[in-house]
């Protein structure tokens, strides 16, 4: 394990996709990883795992108390769990769906951070997995964009509650996960044209598999710590500023 590799981490949403990728990469490096999701984590080397629906706020603190019993420090907290919802026009977005996205993608993270504070767990770094959709605002991105934009501000606000701890929201770029099955195969790319760039990226190095993307995010953590605490960072802006400029010019 290198000096920079976290030795302990809490990863939410680690039953699949990027969260499972983080868990696998960190477990391989010898870290103690604790996770929360509804389905549970299939990685056998996980140190602790709780099945919890993060949309059910009342169940989060008891689950964290069971999960983190005896844990006094977490080198890394990755707030990764997230839902996509539907790609749709805003007038078509049901309020119940918008509420669910805000609950899981945004407010559940308030409950988790509050519990870490209440338990007085020392934390080395906090990263919330956001999205380019938090700032691009392309047609169709609906509650997902809203919830990720609110997540960015939530992290800025919580940066004041964790003095001395680097707190960031991070867009990880495109990753070939279950979310992409919906975006590339089911959503209407004729109406919502931003999807065409995403579909074209599938199967290319622009959309890595979850383990590769997880390693990319872990590799960027030291540079992330140099950014002002509370800020939103897109990994593409750090790794490939020209590509990021092209991307934002295309919105
Ligand atoms: N894939 C991309 O291209 C991409 C791009 C930008 C940002 N992201 C972000 O990356 C993060 C991971 O997404 P992914 O692409 O890896 O998709 P994914 O495979 O669908 O993973 C989502 C994870 O979130 C968990 N989750 C969802 N709702 C939950 C709930 N109510 N309670 C507990 N856990 C819940 C899921 O676990 P359970 O279903 O077991 O509960 C799952 O482990 C998300 O925040 C997403 O917004 C993804």
Q: What's the CA-to-centroid distance between 132 and ligand 1, angstroms?
A: 15
DSSP state of 104: I
Q: Looking at residue 249, what is its pLDDT?
A: 79
Q: Looking at residue 138, what is its pLDDT?
A: 94
Q: What's the CA-to-centroid distance between 222 and ligand 1, angstroms?
A: 24
Cβ count within 10 A of residue 231: 16
Q: What's the CA-to-centroid distance between 48 and ligand 1, angstroms?
A: 19
Give helix then strand counts, H and E, for the chain: 11, 9
Q: What's the CA-to-centroid distance between 87 and ligand 1, angstroms?
A: 16
Q: Whose CA is nearest to atom 43 of ligand 1?
A: 13
8 Å CB contact between 207 and 216: no
Closest ligand 1 atom number to CA of residue 175: 3
Cβ count within 10 A of residue 99: 14
Distance CA 74, CA 122 (A): 6
Q: Looking at residue 2, what is its pLDDT?
A: 60
- Choice from 56, 145, 154, 177 to test ligand 1 binding pocket (greatest atom count within 8 A of CB): 177
| pTM score | 0.98
Residues having CB within 6 Å of any atom of ligand 1 = 13-19, 37-39, 53-55, 80-83, 104, 129, 131, 171-172, 174-175, 177-180
Ranges of residues in the chain with a pLDDT under 70 are 1-3, 250-251
Q: Looking at residue 247, what is its pLDDT?
A: 84
Distance CA 130, CA 210 (A): 15
pLDDT digits (tens, 9 = 90+) for 225-247: 999 999 999 999 999 999 899 88
pLDDT digits (tens, 9 = 90+) for 132-145: 999 999 999 999 99
Q: Looking at residue 4, what is its pLDDT?
A: 72
Domains present along the chain, CATH in parentheses: 8-177+210-235 (3.40.50.720)
Q: What's the CA-to-centroid distance between 172 and ligand 1, angstroms?
A: 12
- Our CA angle for 192, 198, 200, nearest 5°, is 110
Q: Whose CA is nearest to atom 14 of ligand 1?
A: 17
Q: What's the CA-to-centroid distance between 200 and ligand 1, angstroms?
A: 22
């Amino acid at each position: 394990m290198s000096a920079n590799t976290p030795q302990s981490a809490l990863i939410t949403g680690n039953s699949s996709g990027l969260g499972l990728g983080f868990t696998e990469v960190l477990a391989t490096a010898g870290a103690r990883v604790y996770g929360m999701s509804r389905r549970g984590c299939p990685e056998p080397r996980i140190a602790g795992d709780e099945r919890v629906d993060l949309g059910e706020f009342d169940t989060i603190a008891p689950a964290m108390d069971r999960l983190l019993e005896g844990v006094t420090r977490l080198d890394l907290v990755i707030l990764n769990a997230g839902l996509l919802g539907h790609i749709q026009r805003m007038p078509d977005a049901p309020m119940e769906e918008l509420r669910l996205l805000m609950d899981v993608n945004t407010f559940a993270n308030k409950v988790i951070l509050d519990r870490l504070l209440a338990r007085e767990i020392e934390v080395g770094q906090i990263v919330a997995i956001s999205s380019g959709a938090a700032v691009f605002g392309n047609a169709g991105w609906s509650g997902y964009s809203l919830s990720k934009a609110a997540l960015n501000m939530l992290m800025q606000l919580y940066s004041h509650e964790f003095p001395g701890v680097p707190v960031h929201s991070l867009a990880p770029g495109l990753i070939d996960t279950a979310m992409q099955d919906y975006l590339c195969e089911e959503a209407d790319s004729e109406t919502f044209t931003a999807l065409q760039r995403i579909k074209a990226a599938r199967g290319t190095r622009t959309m890595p598999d979850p383990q590769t993307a997880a390693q990319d995010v872990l590799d960027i953590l030291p540079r992330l710590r140099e950014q002002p605490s509370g800020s939103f960072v897109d990994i593409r802006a750090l790794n490939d500023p020209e590509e990021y400029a092209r991307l934002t010019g295309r919105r």
